[in-house]
Amino acid sequence: MRPVSLILALLFLLAGIAFGAFNSADVALNFYWCQLTLPLGVALLGACLIGALAAGLLLWLTVIWPQRRRLRALLRSAGDGQAATMTHAPVAMTNTPDAHE
């Protein structure tokens, strides 16, 4: 699987380089306290990167972190006394008597 991910990474790198080369016109970004002049490709890729980082942070703060807290609390309340991960996967019960009702 490693060669596939390496090829994909190289393809995305080449696409980013081509994107930056085709969008080389300068653009002025005016923040309230400063002004930057960047190539359009760099500005767009930077905005996409900042958006992805903000979305990841928001996802972590609203979904992942609370679920980890709940899991630790459940493990503590089950008498486990540890916040460690499970050592084995749960086994599904397929032959229960009331499964066909």
Residue-wise pLDDT for 59-87, tens only, equals 999 999 999 999 988 988 887 555 455 55
The 10s digit of each residue's pLDDT in 10-57 is: 998 898 888 878 888 899 988 888 998 988 888 888 898 999 999 999
pLDDT given for residue 97 in this prediction: 60
> Does residue 94 carry a pLDDT above 70?
no
DSSP states of 41-60 as a string? HHHHHHHHHHHHHHHHHHHI
Strand partners for 35: 30
Q: What is the pLDDT of residue 42?
A: 84
DSSP notation for 5-51: HHHHHHHHHHHHHHHHHH---EEEEE-SS-EEEEEHHHHHHHHHHHH
Maximum separation of any 2 CA atoms in the chain, in Å: 71
Alpha-carbon span 61 to 7, nearest angstrom: 32
**pLDDT of 99 above 90:** no
Alpha carbons 29 and 47: distance in angstroms, whole number: 11
pLDDT of the residue at 86: 55
